[in-house]
Amino acid sequence: MPYITTSDGTEIFYKDWGTGPVITFSHGWPLTADDWDTQMLFFYRKGYRVIAHDRRGHGRSSQPAQGNDMDTYADDLAALFDKLDVRDAVMVGHSTGGGEVAHYIGRHGTSRVKKAVLIGAVPPLMLKTPSNPEGTPLEVFDGFRAQLAANRAQQYKDIPYPFYGYNRDGAEVSQGVMDHWWRQGMQGSILAHYECIKQFSEVDYTEDLKKIDVPCLIMHGDDDQIVPIAAAAEKAIKLVPNGTLKVYPGFPHGMATTHADVINADLLAFIES
């Protein structure tokens, strides 16, 4: 399987399909590149080169004790871009992956990037603070960590319900989608997943968003129960210099899976605009 080895010896698994214009995908917590299956297949068949990786500590990548932080995630992505000679990429990030896209640009610039897309993304800041009263209290994330440490396997059975909006009246529940989520999560390192909670909840991406100097599409469901829109997309759009916000009424956090036809069509329109 294809891997790159980073400067600290960590092996990062990646997929690289096709030879056309480049689209890269950064996944959410605690998932893998496989969470982008629907998008990868769709855009590959449209003639694009599609690239997705398993973040360190996730999926098929190494499970080091060190480097489970957003600075290192961004540097790992930069190493992958260098190895694959990525140019003029459209970077797409979901949830924590949206933080990764923003922080990559904030840390490494846009010399290899043409456009950016943030889907249900965590920036600018999920944590409730005096200056971010719309955020989520720290106690919620502490409870999340406690649940993970006590019984990660059960926690990963429970999360897909709000993640995909399957806890809403009238929702069409897919057991296969939930099993796919659980399988991806359990592939990874409990240590990496535990430490990554801080990265998606407590890291402030405000300055990163200000540095996204390429066209940026922000896509968010207004029924996102994992990353509430008020502290995320509604604030992020005010920070990116050249952004477009598209809100999806009733769509959940995992809308790229539950409403792939809509999301893929809108992504294609933005990419080709």
How many whole angstroms separate alpha carbon 180 and alpha carbon 157?
Answer: 10
Count of domains observed in the chain: 1
CA 243, 247, 253, 254 torsion-angle sign: negative
In tens, the pLDDT along 129-187 reads 999 999 999 999 999 999 999 999 999 999 999 999 999 999 999 999 999 999 999 99
Please provide the DSSP assignment of 174-186 as one string. Answer: -HHHHHHHHHHHH
How many whole angstroms separate alpha carbon 24 and alpha carbon 86?
Answer: 9
How many whole angstroms separate alpha carbon 184 and alpha carbon 163?
Answer: 14
> So what's the pLDDT on residue 159?
98
> So what's the pLDDT on residue 1?
73
Greatest CA separation for the chain? 49
The H or E element spanning position 271 is helix 260-272
How high is the mean pLDDT of the chain?
98
Instruction: State which residues of the chain have pLDDT below 50.
Output: none
Domain span at 92: 3-272
Kindly report the length of the chain.
273
Residues 207, 106: contact at Cβ < 8 Å? yes
pTM assigned to the model:
0.98
> So what's the pLDDT on residue 6?
97
* Cα 113–Cα 237–Cα 77 angle in degrees, nearest 5: 30
> So what's the pLDDT on residue 255?
98
> So what's the pLDDT on residue 162?
98
How many whole angstroms separate alpha carbon 168 and alpha carbon 223?
Answer: 10
CATH number at residue 110: 3.40.50.1820
Give the residue numbers annotated as catalytic, written as ranges.
95, 224, 253
Helices (H) and strands (E) in the chain, counts: 11, 8
> So what's the pLDDT on residue 75?
98
Q: Please list the residues that pair with 25 across neighbouring strands.
A: 52, 92
CB atoms within 10 A of CB 179: 12
- Backbone phi and psi for residue 153, each to the nearest 5 degrees, phi listed first: -60, -40
